[in-house]
Amino acid sequence: MIRSQKDHVRISRIIEELKGSAGLFLESQGSPDHLADRVTGISYDSRSVDPGDLFACLVGLRLDGHAFAEDAVSSGARVLLVERYIPSLPDAMQIRVSDARLALAIISSAFHGYPTRNLLLVGITGTSGKTTTAQLVRQVFEKAGVPTGYIGTLGTVVGGVESPGTLTTPEAPDLAATFAAMRDAGDRAAVIEVSSHSLAFRRVAGCAFDLALFTNIAPEHLDFHRDMEDYVDAKAALFRMLDPDSSVHVQTRGIFNADDPMGPRVVAECSAPTLGFGITCGDIRAIDLHLSLEGSDFTLRYPDGGSRRLCLRLPARYNVYNAIAAAAVAECAEITRDVVAQALEEAQPVPGRFEVIGGEGDPMVVVDFAHTADELENLLEAVRGITDGHVIAVFGCGGDRDRTKRPVMAETVSVRADYTIITSDNPRSEDPGDIAAEVARGIRQGSPHEVIVNREEAIMRAVSLAQPGDVVVLAGKGHETYQIFAEKTIDFDDREKARRALAIRRRGRAQ
């Protein structure tokens, strides 16, 4: 739990903040103890409560925070944020609200002094491309002399210092504390990956976004969202948050992928002006595009007719979209186009995103985070565009996640790869063999494949099969350095395993 740097916040101030949101505050019962009308911290996990905290009773998918309120009070929680009164704790002060998650986001922002008001805040949402686009935006801003923080899949960057993270978009108290740390460290802007879960759970409700960006959408997280319409609507919520009159940094804008069929739908209810980007259409476009193993080059054409020729070190068509998206954000942030071009041309590939491993005489190994059918299709098509050799794909599906996508992913891979090896990803509480069997049902009939549940063995097998000129694609884990099982989490890095497999292959060839 990230704790506040502030001493306290008045409970009366908390109630005042909640009353400012129509229909949110319902009532308060009890009174704070004799120490004062204040709380000194905010927690949503009863195991992390410190004396003086406000404890938010959040209702989750599996657990209900109200069941842990007594533990929180025993640990010193001074106030409970609840959606229903807890009779067993009549002496505890309880603030009852209609939506504890929304209330928690509002309280967290106020507790830390509304930190996002001091930052040019860019929110990026979409199924794919969030991480790479966020990294490119940050690099462009830094090149322009704007110290910029980051929150997302790769962790956080605060004041230039990188730290690991656990969630793409953390819970509201952790977000507010991190933004406050950025502000206090001298950051002037921040870019955050905004997941559909975080939007549905109102984690970013206390954030004052200046710019919002939509990358693309494809079926994903349908174990959480009711259907695709619900998933799309969750993404659109980010754009409904934009207030065209609130930004003191730049003109608030909604930026969207104009080539994605859902792009216009996602920004349809955005009250701020919008800007589209793309390759086939959009206000900012990439034209005269050429792709190679080394990267891509294209002309970036702006709405006023201006243009810049760019040569990027990032291969694959989808990385072109990421680069155009970053350029669109920079345009809205009033960063000069020469600086944008220079920053994008200097940008290095993001760890675990089309990361190429292998030396001269080796088959190429591409490690990528692709873990949906759409992402796998884009990845394998990109690989096909840079090799005349065979493509050997290794992938699996995560446990405790959307099971409907498993056979769809297998069909996608088996159609586009010459040889498929189905293996384990992060099985979590499920049996890895059962997951692999479900995945294998989607393999196109007659497509060469095998199942090797042990991921390290699967990587070894793929590299041993490959010849110089072939490409081995290791999909699904990308930058991750662990593998999650029911009873344990082990160290596991596809990149390290690939290097080891290549070294063993070299030794075998030398003998």
CATH number at residue 388: 3.90.190.20
Determine if the pTM surpasses 0.85: yes
CATH number at residue 42: 3.40.1390.10
Q: Which of 99, 109, 118, 116 is nearest to 42 (CA)?
A: 109
Question: Considering the domain boundaries, does residue 293 fall inside one?
Answer: yes
Whether residues 186 and 315 share a domain: the answer is yes
Which of 311, 346, 381 is at the close of a domain? 346
Structure tokens, 91: 């002496």
Whether residues 116 and 196 share a domain: the answer is yes
Question: Considering the domain boundaries, does residue 1 fall inside one?
Answer: no
Question: Considering the domain boundaries, does residue 155 fall inside one?
Answer: yes
Whether residues 92 and 158 share a domain: the answer is no
Whether residues 342 and 374 share a domain: the answer is no
Distance CA 322, CA 89 (A): 51
* CA gyration radius, the chain: 24
Whether residues 96 and 123 share a domain: the answer is no
Instruction: Tell how far CA 507 is from the center of its chain.
Output: 39
Tell me the three state secondary structure of residue 182. Answer: helix
Strand partners, 309: 299
Tell me the three state secondary structure of residue 502. Answer: helix
pLDDT in tens, the chain (511 residues): 444 444 578 888 899 999 999 899 999 988 765 445 788 999 999 999 999 999 999 998 789 999 999 999 999 998 999 999 999 998 889 999 999 999 999 999 999 999 999 999 999 999 899 999 999 999 999 999 999 999 999 999 999 999 988 778 899 999 999 999 999 999 999 999 999 889 989 999 999 999 999 999 986 655 665 677 888 888 999 999 999 887 778 899 999 999 999 999 999 999 999 999 999 999 999 999 998 878 899 999 999 999 999 999 998 899 999 999 999 999 999 999 999 999 999 998 888 989 999 877 889 999 999 989 988 998 999 999 888 899 999 999 999 988 999 999 999 999 999 999 999 999 999 999 999 999 999 999 999 999 999 999 999 999 999 999 999 999 999 999 999 999 999 999 999 999 999 999 988 776 5
Whether residues 158 and 219 share a domain: the answer is yes
Angle subtended at Cα 476 by Cα 471 and Cα 479, rounded to the nearest 5 degrees: 90
Whether residues 70 and 214 share a domain: the answer is no
Which domain does 458 fall in, by range? Answer: 355-510
Q: Which of 370, 376, 364, 378 is nearest to 462 (CA)?
A: 364
Question: Considering the domain boundaries, does residue 383 fall inside one?
Answer: yes
Taking phi over 0 as left and psi of -120 to 50 as alpha, with beta for the rest, 410 belongs to alpha
Whether residues 310 and 362 share a domain: the answer is no
Q: How many distinct structural domains can be found in the chain?
A: 3
> At a CB cut-off of 8 Å and minimum separation 6, what does 399 contact?
425, 426, 427, 428, 429, 430, 432, 435, 484
Whether residues 77 and 139 share a domain: the answer is no
Which of 346, 367, 386 is at the close of a domain? 346
Distance CA 168, CA 152 (A): 4
Residues in the chain, overall count: 511
Q: Which of 377, 365, 451, 367 is nearest to 409 (CA)?
A: 377
Whether residues 202 and 98 share a domain: the answer is no
Tell me the three state secondary structure of residue 10. Answer: strand
Structure tokens, 52: 């003086």
